[in-house]
Structure formats: C-alpha cells, structure tokens
Amino acid sequence: MSGETVAVAIKRLSDAFARVGIDNARLDARILVGRALGVSAGETALHADRVLDDGSAQRLTSWADRRLAREPIGRILGEREFWGLTFELLPDTLEPRPDSEALVAAVLEANKNRAPRILDLGTGTGCLLIALLKEIPEARGLGIDQAPGAVACAARNAARAGVEARAEFIRSDWFEHVARTFDVVVSNPPYLSTADMATLAPEVSFDPAAALIAGEDGCDAYRAILSRLRPFVRGGTVIALEIGANQCEAVSSIASSHRFKIAAIKRDLAGHSRCLLLMP
Ligand SMILES: C[S@@+](CC[C@H](N)C(=O)[O-])C[C@H]1O[C@@H](n2cnc3c(N)ncnc32)[C@H](O)[C@@H]1O
C-alpha cells in the first residue's frame, strides 16, 4: 500500500502469505518488497523506514495478489537463480530447482575430459548445460527441447551467462535432430506420474505439464531416452539422469535393459537419491 514503510509492508505481506500456508512467507515478502524498490531481499533491512511510493506500492500489490494465488516467486519475477546464475523463465520452461544442481555437481566430479561435448536433453531454460559450460571453460554443448519457447529462452540465458559462443540450442523431439556422439549427456526429463500430480504443492501447477508428466508410472521419458541413446555415446561418455523420489530402482532397471551400467547414485542436499550416473 502507498504510504506504508518497508518494514510494515514486509510484516503485512508475510502475515498474509503465512495465512494461506505459504512456506518461507517472510522471505517471499522481503523478496517482493525488495524487488518493488529495486534492492535485494537482504538489503530491505537497510531501508526499513523508507516509505513506498505509488509506483512501488502498485507493483507490490499486483505481485502479492499473484503470490497469494500461489504463483511461485520465480514466475512472478520471470527469473530464477540456479548454480549462482540468473535464468529467464517463460510459461513453457520449467522453473529450475535447486535439487537439479546435484546433476551439475555429479558431472563435474565424473567428467575427466578437459574439452567435452555436452548434450542436454530437455534443456528448458538451459540451466544444466549453461552451468556446466560456465564451469568447464573449454566445453561445448547442444541443448534440445521440444517446447517452442525453450530454445530461444535458453539461448538468451546462455548469452546472459557469457557462454553463447559454446552453446547451441535446437528444437527436437529427443534425438530427432541430434547427429553426433557426445562426451557428456545430461537430462532432467519429465518424471512425474499422472497420480503424482494430484499430490503436489499448488505452486507446481504453474510449471508446464509437458515438463513434468511422463505417463502412468512417470518413466516414459527415461524409456524414450535410454532406448535411443546408444548411437550418441562412446566408450567414456558420462551419462547423468535426474530421477524422482523412489525412481532409482525403476530407472536403473530400464538402463540395464539397454545395457547401460550404473556407475553411481548421487544424492541432493536433502539426502534424496537424485542423480543416476550411467556408463555406456
Ligand atoms: C523437467 S524439465 C527440465 C528442464 C531443465 N533441464 C531443468 O532442469 O530445469 C523437462 C524438459 O523436457 C522437455 N521435453 C519433454 N518431452 C520432450 C521430448 N519428447 N523431446 C524433447 N524435450 C522434451 C520439456 O519441454 C522440459 O523442458
């Protein structure tokens, strides 16, 4: 509201967010108030007594209404942090999740190639490929996705991260337009079952369904990828797949049926098995 101080606005919004069951209500309030003023959430404390002008108050009201309708902060602001980088989001790209950073860490540990060619299947915002290109200065990579907006969005994100000269993004139904072998293959494919969808937080409904759902058992995308992957790998290729809760056994079994060996299972920071590392 116009005329409110920063401290009062943060208190009012965090109470309102908490009432509708939003986790981290105070942090979300600080992020939105900070953004309305053009400062970070952490810096709002330095502006506690500052009075919100009309423009900031209007922006804040509109964002707060969207958050109360359970739209995630990243969607409201149109961007999300991943691996210390900022990624633009579009309606047809998944909002990157911190859990997926386990894949980046696993690849960095397993890859011994100084200048690997990396393939990212289902690239979305390009977050996995771009984080890897940022960390491995001589790597080059291809990100593919079938979502219409993803390719342009990922290309803009690569430019923002300064890796655009080493990244290519194309629209492709998995391997449809892929034509060479790679040293590293990463994928965070859709892996929720239709039944899972009913149990998710309301925020997840703002992600595109095509980025989330993979058939009745959530494994359709793993089957599609692993059954067609062989021609695109060579002897030492590092293959890293993100997996959902309780999917380790099912995905390992699909991988084994296509003669891929399980090299390691890596956990995310919450301790869940999150990344399956495979060898050809
Ligand atoms: C779970 S999201 C992952 C996005 C991004 N890699 C990340 O980690 O945030 C899965 C992605 O796979 C893409 N996808 C789904 N089916 C596909 C297909 N048949 N071919 C290519 N991409 C596909 C979706 O559009 C979506 O961007």
What pLDDT, in 10s, does the model give residues 139-173? Answer: 999 999 999 899 999 999 999 999 999 999 999 99
- State in Å: Cα 145 to ligand 1 middle: 6
Closest protein CA for atom 4 of ligand 1? 124
**pLDDT band per the 50, 70, 90 thresholds, residue 245:** confident
Instruction: State whether the beta carbon of 132 lies less than 6 angstroms from ligand 1.
Output: no
Instruction: State whether the beta carbon of 122 lies less than 6 angstroms from ligand 1.
Output: yes
Residue 91 token pair: 């309606």
Nearest 10 degrees: CA dihedral of 226, 227, 230, 233? Answer: -30
- State in Å: Cα 122 to ligand 1 middle: 3
More confident residue, 201 or 123: 123
More confident residue, 197 or 110: 110
What local confidence, expressed as pLDDT, does residue 197 receive? 84
What local confidence, expressed as pLDDT, does residue 136 receive? 98
CATH superfamily, domain at 79-279 = Vaccinia Virus protein VP39 (3.40.50.150)
Please identify, by atom number, the ligand 1 atom nearest to the C-alpha of residue 174. Answer: 20
pLDDT tens digit sequence for 20-75: 999 999 999 999 999 999 999 999 999 999 999 999 999 999 999 999 999 999 99
What local confidence, expressed as pLDDT, does residue 194 receive? 87
What local confidence, expressed as pLDDT, does residue 221 receive? 98
Decide if 263 contacts 279 (C-beta within 8 A).
yes
Round to whole Å and give the CA distance between 70 and 279. Answer: 41
Instruction: State whether the beta carbon of 154 lies less than 6 angstroms from ligand 1.
Output: no
- State in Å: Cα 190 to ligand 1 middle: 6
Q: What is the mean pLDDT of residues 211-219?
A: 93
What local confidence, expressed as pLDDT, does residue 198 receive? 84
Please identify, by atom number, the ligand 1 atom nearest to the C-alpha of residue 82. Answer: 9
Instruction: State whether the beta carbon of 143 lies less than 6 angstroms from ligand 1.
Output: no
Place of tokens 């400062």: 39
> Which residues, in sequence order, are CB contacts of 14 under 8 Å at separation 6+?
25, 26, 28, 29, 30
Lowest mean pLDDT segment, chosen from 107-111, 182-186, 202-206, 231-235:
202-206
- State in Å: Cα 232 to ligand 1 middle: 18
pLDDT tens digit sequence for 259-271: 999 999 999 988 9
**Which residue, 261, 264, 259, is CA-closest to 277?**
264
Answer whether residue 1 shows pLDDT above 80: no
Q: What is the pTM of this model?
A: 0.94
What local confidence, expressed as pLDDT, does residue 64 receive? 97
Closest protein CA for atom 6 of ligand 1? 123
What local confidence, expressed as pLDDT, does residue 246 receive? 87
- State in Å: Cα 44 to ligand 1 middle: 36
What local confidence, expressed as pLDDT, does residue 159 receive? 98
What local confidence, expressed as pLDDT, does residue 12 receive? 96
Instruction: State whether the beta carbon of 104 lies less than 6 angstroms from ligand 1.
Output: no
Please state, rounded to an integer, the average pLDDT across all residues of the chain. 95
Please identify, by atom number, the ligand 1 atom nearest to the C-alpha of residue 120. Answer: 6
Round to whole Å and give the CA distance between 52 and 92. Answer: 34
169 HSE (CA, 13 A, CB side) = 26
> Which residues, in sequence order, are CB contacts of 215 under 8 Å at separation 6+?
193, 194
Q: What percentage of residues in the chain have a pLDDT greater than 90?
A: 93
Closest protein CA for atom 8 of ligand 1? 188
Answer whether residue 77 shows pLDDT above 90: yes
Instruction: State whether the beta carbon of 150 lies less than 6 angstroms from ligand 1.
Output: yes
Return the SS3 of 187.
strand
What residue spans define the domains of the chain? 6-69, 79-279
Decide if 210 contacts 92 (C-beta within 8 A).
yes
Instruction: State whether the beta carbon of 28 lies less than 6 angstroms from ligand 1.
Output: no
